[in-house]
Structure formats: structure tokens, C-alpha cells
Structure 1
Amino acid sequence: MILLQLTAGQGPEECCLAVGLALKAIEKMCREHKVKVDIVTSTRSERSRGFKSVLLAFDEKDTVSVKHLALQWEGSMLWVCTSPIRPKHKRKNWFFSGKMFEANQQTLDRDITYQACRASGAGGQHVNTTDSAVRATHVATGISVRVESERSQHANKRLARALILQKLEEAKQETAEQDANARWQQHWDLKRGNAVRKFVGEGFKEVRE
């Protein structure tokens, strides 16, 4: 499974516009290469037509070409343009970024339990009378999501799997950041006195007391 997350970070509305334009460009590329792409989740900006963030899931039929496509949108990117929102603003450089996530679908499915459930939202008679919604739970971590945005259970299962993968990546990144902060905290926790080991001289010879 290959996911791509686009984000405007903490940038202004122009950066959100850039994410929206990038989304349109990616959808166009996918149509040209006949690659199916779904918007798993998105957060629209408050003032512009753009997005604060978008999570995309690509069809895995041709993993190599899909991965190549997604990697073209990974890293920090720059949109150079006079602000459509604030034409008199001097700034013309607007940054956004992309991050690709990849996981083996079969391995991921072995770690996830799926439960069909009745869709609760609006969507017509078909949605309301079938168990099209899906609740997915990652057994090892307890991470759970519920998806009912699509009409078919298969489509909702695919989106649920993508959301689980995103949350696992976020948890992994958070753990890495906590570990880095803990290592850096050691610089501040250094205390003089009560040494557990003692070394002397340029030869760094240990002295046992």
C-alpha cells in the first residue's frame, strides 16, 4: 500500500492553495497514467479553496510506477506566485511538503481485524440498509478507525487500511521525536559530583576507589 500526504504545515492560506493545486496536478498525472487514487482524508483551509492537508491512497496494481509517481511529490516544495488572496503582499514564495508511506498490504492485513457495521450517516437507501461501514483495528497497538464514506464495504476497507497505516506512521514518528528529545535532555541532566566512574590523565586511565 502506498500513501502520500500533502501538508501546508503551519503556513498561511497561500500554502493551502499550493496543496490544492498539487492535488489537482497529482490527479491529472494519475489519469494520464491510468492509476486509481483516492482521497482518504483531507482538511480544508478556512479561507481559501485549498487544503491544510490531504492524504492520498494509490492503487497498488503497478507498485513500481505508483511509487515513482508518489516519490515525485516527497519533500519540501515551493510554489512561486503572487498571492491570489493578498495581491499587494510582497511575498511570492509559498512552501508545502509531501511524505510517502509504504507498507506491505498482506502483512498489514494480518495485523488488522475488520468488522462490518451499519453505516450511520446520510447517503441514500443503499448505504443505510447494508453493512457497508467498516471498523478496522490494529491488534498490536489498539489503533482503531471507522470508515463509511464509500458505498461498498471493499472500498471502505481499503480506506480504513490506509488510515491505520497513516496513524502507525504518525505514532512511529512521535516515538522517534520523543527518543530524540530524551537524548537531548541528557545535555541538561548532566550533574557534577557523585561520579559512578573516574578517569585521570591524558591516557584516560580509570581509577577505582
Structure 2
Amino acid sequence: MKTKIIQISAGKGPAECEYVVAKVLRIFLLELISNKIDYTILNRETGIENGTIQSVSIQLKGNHLADFLKNWLGTIQWIGTSTFRKFHKRKNWFVGCFEVDEIPAFVGNTILEKDIQFQAIRSSGAGGQHVNKVSSAIRAKHLKTGIQVLVMDSRSQHQNKKIAIKRLQEKLEEFTLDEAKEQLKNQWENHQALERGNPVRVFKGTDFNVVKKDKSFKSKRNKLKNDLRKQLE
């Protein structure tokens, strides 16, 4: 399974664009579920108005992510009347869907023992007169991040080692998600790079019905024929 981080952003757009982000997010999540793609919302910046979202970052995990994202990455257009300024003349609103750089991920990936430094130490605390005579406790340190855990749950060194690997995995996943949230909080490039032309998705009306692109190019061909006919007359 592959992992990607996606950001849906209103850029510097007004409250209407933040309204669109909230609506698009719901559709995006429903499509993730129907395509059996796991997701985690890493960061969500609320908009000015109630129920709106300025920016949201989502971590995706699954197969064929590139194929799924072909229909999402880029500019998304909504055609509709402002829900906040009913007499506003503008009818076209744009938001962006971007793939962002991902930090080294430990989420869902089993860490290798070669990346862990183990140290056997004597257990301390309650346990009778024999507890300190055997070095059964294990300190495990992840070499790449410096994160470490100390396990003394069992009198078995082997068992404590297994527990240490599991707990180290959990701490690394938590560390990874925290790092991703911080990275995405500070990533404003996408808010500035929102392109208003050539949308990959177009929605219309308050129900956000999908406007399908005409892939037959029939209307374009007819226009070319008419132009050619006029030139020959």
C-alpha cells in the first residue's frame, strides 16, 4: 500500500471558497470510502463562516492512489450563487486540491530491527528479591529519530523485546503524524498557487451536482466546420 498527503484549500479566496472546500471534502471522503482507501485527517483550518473550511490536509493509504487522484488533483470549480452574499454577481468559485510532500512515514510500515538499538538492563521496582538479578528489561532506541522506550513488563527478555518493538512502532507513528500536522500547518505555497483555469472537477448548485466534461469534442468539431464553411463561402 502507498501513502500520500492531499491538501484541499480555498487559497486566498473568500468565504464562498471556504464553503466549497467543506462541500468538496465531504464528496472526496465519500469517494475514498467507496474506493476502499483509508484516510486520516491531519489538519483542518476552519473558515470565517460556520461550517466552512479554509484548508484541510488528509493522509491517504491504499492501492492505485495515483489513478484515483487523477480526477482530483488541480483546480476545482463550483458554479453557484453565494450562500453568504445572495446579491453578489459572481457565480464561479475555485478551490485547489494538491499533493504535498510527505515526510518519512512510519505509519503502517513495520520498522526493521536493524534500525533499533537494544540494551538489556536490570528491572527495578516491585517483584521480589530476584527482580534485579537478571537483566530482563529492554531499552529500545530508534536510530533514525532517537525515540526510545523502556519495557520491563515481563521477566522474559525476549518477551520484553517484542513489546518494546510494538511500543516503539506506536510512538513512531504518533511522531510521524505530529510532524505531518506541523509541516502542513506551515505550508502556505498551495494557498498562493491556486490556478483558476482548466478545472479537473466542476460542481453546480447547492446540491453540488457534478458537471461532466464533454469528451466527444462534438461541439468543438462543429465550430471548426462552421468556421471552415464561412471561409469557403
Question: Aligning the two structures, in what range does the TM-score lie when normalised by the shorter sequence?
Answer: 0.5 to 0.7
Which digits, 9 at most, give the CA deviation of each residue in 1:53-111, with x for residues without a partner? 0011001x41xx22222342222221111111122211111111111135585699989
- Structure 1 position 13, deviation (Å): 0.5
Whole-Å Cα distance in 2 between the matches of residues 102 and 68 of structure 1?
18
Q: C-alpha root-mean-square deviation of aligned residues, in Å?
A: 3.6
Does 1:113 find its partner at 2:145? yes
Whole-Å Cα distance in 1 between the matches of residues 7 and 144 of structure 2?
22
Q: 1:103 to 1:154 in 2, by over 3 A?
A: closer
Whole-Å Cα distance in 2 between the matches of residues 106 and 8 of structure 1?
27
Q: 1:107 to 1:84 in 2, by over 3 A?
A: closer
For these two proteins, the number of residue pairs brought into alignment is 135
Q: Give the letter for the 1:159 counterpart.
A: L
SS of the residue corresponding to residue 113 of structure 1 reads: coil
Q: 1:35 to 1:43 in 2, by over 3 A?
A: same
Given that residues 2 and 67 in structure 1 are in contact (C-alpha distance below 8 angstroms), is that contact kept between their aligned partners in structure 2?
no
Does 1:160 find its partner at 2:196? no
- Structure 1 position 162, deviation (Å): 3.1
SS of the residue corresponding to residue 145 of structure 2 reads: strand
Whole-Å Cα distance in 2 between the matches of residues 164 and 2 of structure 1?
16
What does 1:70-149 correspond to in 2, within 5 Å?
70-101=69-100, 103=102, 105=104, 113=145, 115=147
Report % sequence identity. Answer: 22
Which digits, 9 at most, give the CA deviation of each residue in 1:114-134, with x for residues without a partner? 6479xxxxxxxxxxxxxxxxx
Which digits, 9 at most, give the CA deviation of each residue in 1:114-158, with x for residues without a partner? 6479xxxxxxxxxxxxxxxxxxxxxxxxxxxxxxxxxx7576345
Whole-Å Cα distance in 2 between the matches of residues 54 and 106 of structure 1?
19
Given that residues 73 and 98 in structure 1 are in contact (C-alpha distance below 8 angstroms), is that contact kept between their aligned partners in structure 2?
yes
Q: Give the letter for the 1:163 counterpart.
A: K
Partner of 1:31: 33
TM-score by length of 1: 0.53
SS of the residue corresponding to residue 18 of structure 1 reads: helix
Given that residues 21 and 52 in structure 2 are in contact (C-alpha distance below 8 angstroms), is that contact kept between their aligned partners in structure 1?
yes
- Structure 1 position 38, deviation (Å): 1.2
Q: Give the letter for the 2:52 counterpart.
A: G
Given that residues 8 and 55 in structure 2 are in contact (C-alpha distance below 8 angstroms), is that contact kept between their aligned partners in structure 1?
yes
Work out which of the residue numbers 48, 53, 77 in structure 2 matches 1:51.
53
Work out which of the residue numbers 32, 41, 44 in structure 1 matches 2:43.
41
Given that residues 57 and 162 in structure 1 are in contact (C-alpha distance below 8 angstroms), is that contact kept between their aligned partners in structure 2?
no
TM-score by length of 2: 0.48
Whole-Å Cα distance in 2 between the matches of residues 164 and 112 of structure 1?
19
Larger Rg: 2
